[in-house]
Chains A and B, each alone.
Chain A
Amino acid sequence: MTLTRRQALKSAGAAVVASSLAKPAIAAKDPIPIGYLPALTGPSSSTGIGINRGILLAVKEINDAGGIDGRPLELITRDTQSDPTKAVNGAAELTRGQNVSVVFGPVNSGESLAVVPLLARTNTPQVHPCWVDTLTDAQKYPMCFRNAPTNQQIGGAANRYVVEVLTRKKVAVISDTTGYGTASVNAYVPMLKAKGAEVVYQGNVDAANPDLKPELLRMQSAGAEAIMPWSVNAGFLSRIINTRGDMGWDVPIVGQTTLGSGQTKALLEKPEYWAKVYPNNFRPVCYAPGGKLPDRTTEFLGRLKSANIDMGDTLLWWIALGYDSPRMIAQAMKAVGTEPAKLVGYLNTLKGFPGVYGDIAFSPEKHDGYPDEEVVMVEANSLKDGAFNLAPGYNA
C-alpha cells in the first residue's frame, strides 16, 4: 500500500488535532505542583514541623473538596534541613526540575535570604512566612509575598510592651549568633532607644554556651530591668530562663515566640521559672482575658482535634500559619488560574484574606501582608492547646 503526500498530510493533521484536543482533557485532571521548602530536620525544625502539620491538613481539605477546578494540589516537598545551601538546591530543583507553579517557603529567614533572590530570577511566585525585613521588596522581588509579620513588627510589639506597658527603661538585649539573632539585635536596639529606653547590655552569644550566668550577671550589674532574648533555639532560651530562676532575679523576659514553646518548657528546671516570661504571639490565636479564643480559631481547633493533629509539642500559630498558606494560594488559583503573572496580579490586590493566623492583605507596593495590631505578647506559662493568654496589659 502506498501513501500519497495528501494522505500523509491528512494523517499528520489529524494527529496534531487529536493531540491538541487530548491535552486539555488530561491537563484538567493533572495535579497542580506546589513547591514547598520546609525545615523538617535540623536546628530550626520545630517551627517547620508545626507549620507542616497545618499545610498537610489544608492541602488534604482542599483536595477532598475537589481541588482547583478538579485538579488536586500536589505538594512537592524538599526538606531544607535548616541549611540555606540545601534550601537553594531544593528551590533550584523545584523551579527547573519540577516546574512548580508557586513556592511556599522556606520557613526560616536564614534559608529565605538565600532562596528569595534565586526564585526572583526564575520568575516564580513565592509566599514565605519569614520575618527578616529585607525578604520582601515589591520592586526588587515583585513575585515574593510575606504572609507573616516582619522583624520590625515583632520587635515593635515587644519593645512597646517593655517600654509602655511594663514601663521598664533599662533593657538587656541578647541573641544567639545566627543570622536571625544578630539581625534582630541590630534592628531592635535602635528601635528601643528611639522609644526612650536605655540598652544597658547588648550581646550575641554562641547558642551552645553551656553556662549563661556570666551574661546574666553582666546584665544585672548593668542595672537591666528587662531581658529581651532573640533566638529560635530552645536550649539557649531555656538557659536564660533557668539562670534567671537560679539567680532569684525577678526581672521579666520579653521576646521571641520560642520562649513559649513546648521544647523550651521541657528544658526548664522548675515550672515556676516560666513565670514573667512574655513571648511574642498573635492575637487571633490567643486567649482573650475572658479565656476565649476568637470564633474562627475555636472552629479551627476543633478541626485539628478531629483530624488527630498533635498539639502537645508545638504551637497553634505555627499550625495556623501552615494551614492558611495553601488556602490563600488555592484561592488565588481558583480566581485566576496557575499562570505566574496572573497569580502575582491577584495577590497584589488581595484584601483581607480571612486566615486563622490573621487577615492578610497585599498591595502592589506592599508585599508584607500581616496587620500590625495582631502582633502581641503573651504569658508563656499559660500554654494550653498550643495557645496562650494575652500578657497582662492587653484588652480583649
Chain B
Amino acid sequence: MVQSIVLSGVAVGCIYALIGITYNVMFSASRVFSFTAGTLGMLGGVLGSLFMARMGLPVLVGLILALAGGALLGIATEIVAVRPVLRSLDQHLYVLSTLALALMVQQFTAIEWGTDARPFPRLFDVASRNFDQRFWLPMLACVVVIVGLELLYRHSLVGRAFLAIAEDTYAARALGLPERSLRMASYALAGIIGTLAGFAGGELLLAFFGNAPMLTFYGFVPVALGGMGNNRGAVIAGLLLGLFQQAANFLVGGIFASVAVFGVFIIVLLARPEGLAGAAAQRRV
C-alpha cells in the first residue's frame, strides 16, 4: 500500500510540478499568471494521442509535434491574451483574458477531439508490474525539465537574458535586451513544458479534454505553496501535493480526499501567505 501511495503520488506530483513550472516560466517573463497552463497539459495528452494513436506516427515524431503545438499555443497566449493587458497589470485583466483563451481552446478540443476520454498509447513496449512507465515517465519528464532549466538559466546567454527580464524588465530593456522576443520565447518554452507534462502523464491521465480544468486547478497549488516564480518551490510543493493527495485517497477516500487537500492548502497559505519557499514581499513605506 505504501509503495502504491508513493509511486502514484510522486508521478501525479511530478505532473502538478511541471504545470506549476509552466505557470512560473510565464510569470517570470511577464508577471502574469496565465491560466492556459492546465490547457497546455491537456493538449499534451490529446496531441500525443492524435499523432501517435490516430495518425500512427512514431513516438519521437509524435512528441516533437505535440511540443511544437504547445509552443505555438504558448506564443499565441502571449500575443492574444497577455500582451494586450500588460499595461494594466494592476487591474489583473490577465485573469479574464488567459482564462477566456484557455476555455476557447478547451471547447475547441471538445468539439474536434470529442468529449470522451480516449486512450493514450504506451510509449515503450516494456511491461513492468510494479514500476510501470506511466509512473516513471512523468518523473523522468520532471527531472529532464529541472535539469534543462538549470542548464538554460545558468549556462547560456539566452537563459541569463530570461533571468534578467524576470528580475527587472525595465533594467533589462534599458540594457538593450529584446524584451518582447524574450517574453515570446519564454511563453513558447512554457508551452513546451506544459505539453510535455501532459504527454508524459498521458498514460495516467488519458487523452481527455476535461483534464484542462483539473490541471489548471491542481497545477496552481504548487505555485501558491512553493512561492510565485520559484521553480524549486513548485517542484517540492507539487511532489508533496501528489503524495498528500494519494495518501488522503487511501485514508479518507472519495471527495473527502479533495476536501483534505484544499483544507491543508488553505491552512498553509494562512500560515505562510508567501508560500513555503517564497520570500515575504517587501513593501515601500
A window 219-249: CB within 8 A of B: 233-235, 238, 246
Tell me the nearest residue of chain B to A44, going by C-beta: B115
Q: Which of B145-153, B206-214, B277-285 contacts A (4 or more CB under 8 A)?
A: B206-214
A250 within 8 A of partner (CB): no
Is the Cβ of B253 less than 8 Å from the Cβ of A215?
yes
On chain B, the residues within 8 Å of A266 by CB distance are 118-119
Q: Which of A117-125, A199-207, A293-301, A356-364 contacts B (4 or more CB under 8 A)?
A: A199-207
Question: Of residues B12, B114, B115, B129, which shows the largest number of chain A Cβ atoms within 10 Å of its Cβ?
Answer: B115
B52 to chain A, nearest CB (A): 15
Is the Cβ of A235 less than 8 Å from the Cβ of B208?
yes
Cα–Cα, bound, A263→B206 (Å): 12
Tell me the nearest residue of chain B to A43, going by C-beta: B115
B window 229-285: CB within 8 A of A: 246, 249-250, 253-255, 258
Q: Which of B1-9, B21-29, B57-65, B168-176 contacts A (4 or more CB under 8 A)?
A: B1-9
A42 within 8 A of partner (CB): yes
On chain B, the residues within 8 Å of A210 by CB distance are 8, 12, 201, 204-205
On chain B, the residues within 8 Å of A207 by CB distance are 210
A265 to chain B, nearest CB (A): 10
A224 to chain B, nearest CB (A): 13
B116 within 8 A of partner (CB): yes
A60 within 8 A of partner (CB): no
Is the Cβ of A235 less than 8 Å from the Cβ of B254?
no
B126 within 8 A of partner (CB): no
B55 within 8 A of partner (CB): no
B117 within 8 A of partner (CB): yes
Is the Cβ of B117 less than 8 Å from the Cβ of A234?
yes
Tell me the nearest residue of chain A to B114, going by C-beta: A45
A-B contact count (CB 8 A): 74
B96 within 8 A of partner (CB): no
Is the Cβ of A214 less than 8 Å from the Cβ of B117?
no
Question: Of residues A203, A206, A211, which shows the largest number of chain B Cβ atoms within 10 Å of its Cβ?
Answer: A211
Tell me the nearest residue of chain A to B203, going by C-beta: A269
A46 within 8 A of partner (CB): yes
B61 to chain A, nearest CB (A): 23
Number of interface residues of A (CB under 8 A): 29
Cα–Cα, bound, A364→B256 (Å): 44
Is the Cβ of B8 less than 8 Å from the Cβ of A211?
yes
B111 within 8 A of partner (CB): yes
* Contact string against A for B residues 76-118, beta-carbon threshold 8 Å, 1 for contact and 0 otherwise: 0000000000000000000000000000000000110011111
On chain B, the residues within 8 Å of A165 by CB distance are none
Cα–Cα, bound, A41→B117 (Å): 13
Is the Cβ of B116 less than 8 Å from the Cβ of A41?
no
Is the Cβ of B110 less than 8 Å from the Cβ of A214?
no
A43 contact from B1, B210, B254, Cβ within 8 A: B210
Q: A213-B4, A215-B254 are in contact. Are A263 and B111 (CB under 8 A)?
A: no
A window 46-96: CB within 8 A of B: 46, 82
On chain B, the residues within 8 Å of A233 by CB distance are 117
* Contact string against B for A residues 173-206, beta-carbon threshold 8 Å, 1 for contact and 0 otherwise: 0000100000000000000000000000001111
On chain B, the residues within 8 Å of A288 by CB distance are none
On chain A, the residues within 8 Å of B258 by CB distance are 206
Tell me the nearest residue of chain A to B217, going by C-beta: A208
27 A-B pairs with CB atoms under 8 Å apart are A41-B115, A43-B115, A45-B114, A45-B116, A204-B254, A204-B255, A206-B255, A208-B208, A208-B214, A210-B204, A211-B8, A211-B249, A213-B4, A214-B8, A214-B249, A214-B250, A214-B253, A215-B253, A217-B1, A217-B250, A233-B117, A234-B116, A235-B208, A238-B117, A263-B117, A267-B117, A267-B206
Residues of B within 8 A of A (CB): 1, 4-5, 8, 11-12, 110-111, 114-119, 129, 201, 204-206, 208, 210-211, 214, 246, 249-250, 253-255, 258
